[in-house]
Amino acid sequence: MIPVLVPPGLEAALDEAWQAAKDVPGFLLENEARFLGMMAACSPREGAIVEIGSFKGKSAVMLGKLAKHYGFGPVVAIDPHNFNNAELAEHRAAPGASSYDEFLENIEAAGVSPYVEVHRAFSTEVAKSWSRPIRMLWIDGDHSYRGAKADFDGFMPHLVPGGFVALHDALHEFSGPIRVFVEDILGSNRFGAAGFVNSIAWSQYRPKDSFSFRHMHLALEPVAAKLLPLVADDKPLHGLRKVQFKLARSRVPRSLPTLKEWTKMLNPE
Ligand SMILES: C[S@@+](CC[C@H](N)C(=O)[O-])C[C@H]1O[C@@H](n2cnc3c(N)ncnc32)[C@H](O)[C@@H]1O
């Protein structure tokens, strides 16, 4: 596998992208947004960035800014915009409510509309006819196990070697992202470097030399797997189970690597 290189000027490009994304309503924290930008910028040149779950455009603006800066693209933003997500349950109460107009306004205001290919649809619909290579797969839609697994299985076959897959809310009280990460990524022999940044679980697709990264998976799997039984039923946690969840989560390493640390993770000696 050819070495993964950090492109010139990435720190400044991330600063600029975060300035544009930070005031867009959403759930993405700054270090998560920066990390999305790092993956996007360091993925192979070939292929699309597929975003499942756009809401009002926070991550789409972040990724769109990087696409604009480095001249790659497009960012394919898939969302029915009907608040179909457990995090957004309170908004769903309003009949016909939609995040679509605000999403369009926000990507336009950030100057990234030409870099974002908008699909107002469910991911499973888009997956049915998808045939293009993917350089980065960003899963932030339906966080149930069924939803996250369908997104992973639907788009993963198109991820190019060296591309990245990332799932949001893997360290929150949802069954899907963490289970897919533990079972389908850490439990497979097709992935390379892997980890968490805040609540993002991520990995690089390295089907030919995954053995060089096995130690990383073996270290992460037991700590991450402890969360699975606690979130399996997608019910809000209370009392002792909440304490157990917080304790298990506190053992998961999840800080944002520096660009130097990250380059080292992706390029083992
Ligand atoms: C947590 S929000 C996404 C946040 C967004 N990435 C951001 O940076 O602000 C989840 C979104 O996923 C969308 N969603 C839920 N199920 C989906 C599915 N099957 N396909 C596509 N989008 C879905 C919801 O409509 C919602 O807008």
Residue nearest to ligand 1 atom 5, measured at CA = 54
Dist. CA 262–CA 244, nearest whole Å: 30
Structural domain includes residue 7: no
C-alpha 264 – ligand 1 centre gap (Å): 32
Tokens of residue 211, six digits: 């053995």
Residue nearest to ligand 1 atom 17, measured at CA = 141
Dist. CA 26–CA 59, nearest whole Å: 8
Q: Which residues line ligand 1 (CB under 6 A)?
A: 26-28, 52-56, 58-59, 78-85, 87-88, 99, 122-123, 140-142, 147
Dist. CA 128–CA 154, nearest whole Å: 8
Q: Ligand 1: which atom is nearest the Cα of residue 123? A: 20
Q: Per-residue confidence of the chain (269 residues) as pLDDT tens digits?
A: 678 989 999 999 999 999 999 999 999 999 999 999 999 999 998 899 999 999 999 999 999 999 999 999 899 999 999 887 777 776 665 777 899 999 999 999 999 999 999 999 999 999 999 999 999 999 999 999 999 999 999 999 999 999 999 999 999 999 999 999 999 999 999 999 999 999 999 999 999 999 999 999 999 999 999 999 999 999 899 999 999 999 999 999 999 999 999 999 999 88
Residues 200, 252: contact at Cβ < 8 Å? no
Q: Which residue has the tokens 């409510």?
A: 97
Ligand 1 mutation pick, 24, 78, 140, max ligand atoms within 8 A of CB: 140
Structural domain includes residue 178: yes
Range of the domain at 143: 17-266
Q: Is the pTM of this model over 0.95?
A: yes
Q: How many CA atoms lie within 13 A of 43 on its CB side?
A: 34
Q: Kindly report the CATH number assigned to the domain that includes residue 243.
A: 3.40.50.150
Structural domain includes residue 123: yes
Per the structure, the count of domains in the chain is 1
